[in-house]
Amino acid sequence: MANPPSPVAALDPASPIAGVPLEAALLILGIVACALLAVILWRLRLVGERLEALEALDPLGEDLERLAETAESLDLGRLEHLVSELRDSQKRLNDRLALMAEERGRSGDAAAAPAQPVPLGERITNRLLAMDYEGIQLLPGPEGLAEDAAEADVLVEARRGGAFCKGRVRVRDGVIAEVDLRTAHSMFP
């Protein structure tokens, strides 16, 4: 029987470890440790570079915090009310401008309008086009409209947002006074 190596013999610098002298094994271990240390330092440098790039985001975080504070202080109900008021004001302004354009077209001013006044059917069509209607049809036909009627209701069919609409356009003294068109699905209960 062979004697197993004693633990004291493993510490002897002259005794080989797995067939390699101890000095050579320590040298290989030192080289591997230096290589691992170099890889670790290289990775830390890469992580440091990435962190420097992320440091540019610090002011962004502060801006987001200020924005969040501002958003919390806003009264959304009040903003919705203001937007609704702006929309109503714009609608009234558009209606007023359309009315002024119709009156100018009807009056036949030499400086502001062409030599002939714009026909009533064309004015009705223009008004409905300005209100986002399309495929407009005047039911008595544009030639059947009386230009000098004191008051008249013109039946109209058109499309708005893909929905078929029917209704009337009320004309008073040659000026469009009221537009009442409803979608077909709103006519049924």
How far, in Å, CA of 111 to CA of 114, rounded? 8
Query: Which residues have C-beta within 8 Å of that of residue 86, sequence separation ≥ 6?
Result: none
- What is the structure's pLDDT at 150? 72
Q: Which tokens is 84 given?
A: 């609704």
Q: What radius of gyration, in Å, describes the C-alpha atoms of the chain? A: 44
Q: What angle do CA 158, 138, 159 make, to 5 degrees?
A: 5
For the chain, give me the number of helices (H) and strands (E)? 5, 4
DSSP category for residue 144: G
Mean pLDDT by 10 residues, the chain (189 residues): 56 58 86 96 93 84 87 82 86 83 66 62 86 86 63 88 89 84 73
* Cα atoms in the Cβ-side hemisphere of radius 13 Å centred on 111: 0
Instruction: Look at residues 101, 94, 96 and name the one whose alpha carbon lies nearest to residue 122.
Output: 101
What pLDDT shows up at residue 167?
A: 92
